[in-house]
Amino acid sequence: MDIGREIDRLKKERAAVILAHNYTAPEIQDIADFVGDSLELSRKAAACRAPVIVFCGVKFMAETAKILSPEAVVLHPNPNSGCPMADMADSAAVAAYRKAHPDTVIVAYVNTTAATKTHVDICCTSGNAEKVIASIPKEKRILFLPDANLGRNLAKKLNRPMELWPGFCPTHNRILPEWIAAARAAHPGATVLVHPECLPATVALADRALSTGGMLKFVRESAETEFVIGTETGILYRMKKENPEKKFYPLEPEPICPNMKKITLEDVLFALQDLSPRIELDPETIALARIPIDRMLEVRP
Ligand code: 13P
Ligand code: SF4
């Protein structure tokens, strides 16, 4: 059986749309209707009228799609594909913080569970975090969760003090400044892009810190022809495909998010055959978690 052809046939039969994150495996990106970063995928999910969404990304992303398209059946082909950083902001702990600090604005990176989103004021992604924080009145105290690296990088860039939750991305937190120095030595003249989930000392050595969507736009529009890419290496597939005349180098050792790589073509096929595994959220969670996501989407892009 040609698995790609069968996925295509079932996708049409189910009137399904396949959304995939920039870090997923090449064969997943190839069968997707849309590949993007967290913000772009949220916008797609919100605008999506399809009765079935197959979400190829980690669990919080599929939950966000369900929150934004509650009428749709949202399939998460491998339920074991989670985001360890999202699990670092436990919903009970965030609820307790909310109770103790009613006047603090809680800004939640979209990398949080649906349950945690029910206790926060506004969400952001790495693609819109600067604009989201700038939309909060200066006199307000902010708690940023769960990524302390992203929070610290934003606080420095925007000159805005923020309280930080002690979370981190195991993949990006491991990208050491030495790796950037080594990449610069190996590829002198290349522009170095990193993700803002990296350590501040790592970001300090890069030319730009951008979301995955921001990186793709930057390399497309840049007159430069060589780039060192300081994020999960799944993104290099799309970069090379869209810019065949440019050169892209991963860091050494290559940063991999094992959870993004858990989703296989077989998982997608079985999900379309069985209409399972589904993201199931109770109506109250959907209604409450939608508030901070809608606030984020209302912030001018
Ligand atoms: P982006 O929003 O930049 O795609 O990042 C999502 C993510 O999980 C990065 O680790
Ligand atoms: Fe989560 Fe990090 Fe993987 Fe992104 S790369 S999904 S933040 S573990």
Q: Of 168, 184, 215, which residue sits at a domain end? A: 168
Q: Flag whether 206 is in a domain.
A: yes
d(CA 111, CA 48): 21
pLDDT value of position 300: 76
Q: How far is CA 255 from the centre of its chain?
A: 15
Q: Which residue numbers in the chain have pLDDT < 70? A: none
Determine whether the shortest distance from the Cβ of 22 to ligand 2 is under 6 A.
Answer: no
In this structure, the residue with its CA closest to atom 6 of ligand 2 is 83
Determine whether the shortest distance from the Cβ of 209 to ligand 2 is under 6 A.
Answer: no
**Burial, 126: exposed, middle or buried (Cβ in 10 Å; 0-12, 13-18, 19+)?**
buried
Let me know whether 63 and 91 are in one domain.
Answer: no
Instruction: State the pairing for strand pair 122-124/34-36.
Output: unpaired
pLDDT value of position 147: 98
User: Counting atoms of ligand 1 from 1, which one is nearest the CA of 22?
Assistant: 4
Ligand 2, from 260, 262, 263: best to mutate by most atoms within 8 Å of Cβ?
Answer: 260
Q: What is the DSSP letter of 278?
A: B
Determine whether the shortest distance from the Cβ of 149 to ligand 2 is under 6 A.
Answer: no
Per-residue pLDDT reduced to its tens digit, 131-157: 999 999 999 999 999 999 999 999 999
Measure 213 CA to ligand 1 centroid, in angstroms.
9
d(CA 267, CA 264): 5
Let me know whether 45 and 97 are in one domain.
Answer: no
pLDDT value of position 48: 87
Measure 55 CA to ligand 1 centroid, in angstroms.
15
Determine whether the shortest distance from the Cβ of 37 to ligand 1 is under 6 A.
Answer: yes
Determine whether the shortest distance from the Cβ of 127 to ligand 1 is under 6 A.
Answer: yes
Let me know whether 137 and 159 are in one domain.
Answer: yes
Let me know whether 70 and 42 are in one domain.
Answer: yes
pLDDT value of position 72: 96
Let me know whether 117 and 62 are in one domain.
Answer: no
Let me know whether 131 and 114 are in one domain.
Answer: yes
Measure 84 CA to ligand 2 centroid, in angstroms.
7
d(CA 83, CA 222): 31
Q: Flag whether 225 is in a domain.
A: yes
Going by C-alpha positions, the residue among 293, 292, 289 that lies closest to residue 281 is 289
Which domain does 212 fall in, by range? 175-250
**Burial, 23: exposed, middle or buried (Cβ in 10 Å; 0-12, 13-18, 19+)?**
buried
Measure the CA dihedral 24/29/30/34, to 10°: 160
Q: Flag whether 295 is in a domain.
A: no
d(CA 10, CA 45): 20
pLDDT value of position 125: 96
Let me know whether 7 and 77 are in one domain.
Answer: yes
Q: Flag whether 109 is in a domain.
A: yes
pLDDT value of position 1: 82
pLDDT value of position 194: 98
The number of folded domains in the chain is: 3
Q: Flag whether 290 is in a domain.
A: no
Let me know whether 42 and 100 are in one domain.
Answer: no
Determine whether the shortest distance from the Cβ of 58 to ligand 2 is under 6 A.
Answer: yes
Determine whether the shortest distance from the Cβ of 83 to ligand 2 is under 6 A.
Answer: yes
Q: Flag whether 40 is in a domain.
A: yes
In this structure, the residue with its CA closest to atom 1 of ligand 2 is 83
Strand order in the sheet with 226-230: 208-209, 191-194, 226-230, 247-250
Task: Please say whether the beta carbons of 76 and 277 come within 8 A.
Answer: yes
Q: Flag whether 300 is in a domain.
A: no
Residue 241 belongs to domain with CATH number: 3.40.50.10800
Residues 28-44 as b or e (16 or more Cβ within 10 Å = b): bbebbeebbbbbbbbbb
Q: Flag whether 43 is in a domain.
A: yes
